[in-house]
Amino acid sequence: MLCNLQRYATHDGPGIRTVVFLKGCSLSCRWCQNPESCSRSLDLLYDERLCLSGCQRCTRDTTCFKRENTTGAVLIYRDKLTEPEMRLAADACPSGAISLCGEPAEAEQIMKTVLRDKAFYQRSGGGLTISGGEPFMQPKLVLQLLEMARRENIHTAVESCLHVPWHYIEPSVASVDLWLVDLKHTESDKFLEWTNGQLSLIQHNIRRLGEQGANIVFRVPIIPDFNDDEATLRDIVRLAAEHYSQFGGSGEIHFLPYHTYGMHKYHLLGREYLCARQPLERPELLVFAEQQATDCGLTAILRG
């Protein structure tokens, strides 16, 4: 299932790119800024700021929506929602207060949009980036898109946390020019606590990619109370340097300071936001991280 498609992107690989965001993720990171991409199914978002006072259209054909008497807001019984009811409500809403995230993803249709900008890819050295969620939650679709792009001589990149079985990834390896791989932590218990994931699985897949000569760029989100300390960042940089020393590759490491741009999405989805509510404002920590990378012979890039 497709979450979103972004044209003219410039931060997810070289040049001008089209980024295909697929739904579904195998991690549950507390700080995720794209929570609408986490589930593999259709999601409903409700923005009460756009809701028209007194409108009852979303309540007519389903029992999962009810107009609250005191505040006038719409109450949504999300545990009872079905996909048909979501679509009915979104179609009925005249103001766009109710919207949906997710649509059937067909490789041929997606590539029609990707190919519109082929001339820009050729001039800028850009191409196609497949992201998520975790794209390899849909391994067959990823492989189809990559193979189509390669036949068109379009540069390919995949942005992945690699928290999936290796046999989901392996068929696509030969069709990926660049891997943008999250490197979040080096301590298994902390990683499990904050992401509900197994660090050993990711480490295994990183090694397998290295053995197959994959060109990897490591990306480090710096998250308050999770990895925003010098010891952890030092260990992360050291791990990246060891990988490049053993297997070669880009030698790049990207630092992504924590922000809260996606925090409002949790409210739209009826979920609780469980991470810091202020962006990371510690320039000295970023200076430290960049210096550590430089000392290890890496190229450090700060992504705002």
Residue 100's pLDDT is: 97
Pair 203, 76 in one domain:
no
**152 and 187 share a domain?**
yes
CATH code of the domain containing 188: 3.20.20.70
Q: CA of 53: how far to CAs of 32, 59, 264, in Å?
A: 32, 13, 21
Average pLDDT over residues 150-157: 98
Region 1-26 average pLDDT: 97
Could you report the per-residue pLDDT of 270-286, keeping only the tens digit for each? 999 999 999 998 999 99
pLDDT tens sequence across 167-197: 999 999 999 999 999 999 999 999 999 999 9
Cis peptide before 126 (omega within 30 of 0): no
* CB 163 within 8 Å of CB 202: yes
Angle at 203 between CA 197 and CA 205, to 5 degrees: 100
Clarify whether residues 115 and 226 are in a common domain: yes
> Do 110 and 243 fall into the same domain?
yes
d(CA 2, CA 40): 9
Integer Cα distance of 215 and 209 in angstroms: 8
Q: Quick one: 7 and 137 in the same domain? A: yes
Q: Are residues 159 and 228 in the same domain?
A: yes
Q: What percent of the chain has pLDDT over 90?
A: 93
230-283: pLDDT as tens digits: 999 999 999 999 999 999 999 999 999 999 999 999 999 999 999 999 999 899
Sign (positive or negative) of CA dihedral 6, 10, 15, 21: negative
State the pLDDT confidence band at 68, using cuts at 50, 70 and 90: confident
Residues spanned by the domain of 59: 43-101
pLDDT at position 70 is 66
* Confidence (pLDDT) at 237: 98
Gap between the Cα atoms of 207 and 86, Å rounded: 42
Task: Report CA-CA distances (Å) from 82 to 3, 35, 89, 150.
Answer: 18, 19, 11, 38
Last residue of a domain, one of 101, 121, 149: 101
Q: Which two tokens stand for residue 126?
A: 């850009």
**Could you tell me if 172 and 79 lie in one domain?**
no
One domain for residues 21 and 94: no
Q: In this structure, are strands 252-257 and 299-302 parallel, antiparallel, or unpaired?
A: parallel
129 and 272 housed in the same domain = yes
Tell me the pLDDT of the chain averaged across its residues: 96
What percentage of the chain exceeds 70 in pLDDT?
Answer: 99
Q: Side chain identity at 75, as an amino acid letter?
A: L
Domain count, the chain: 2
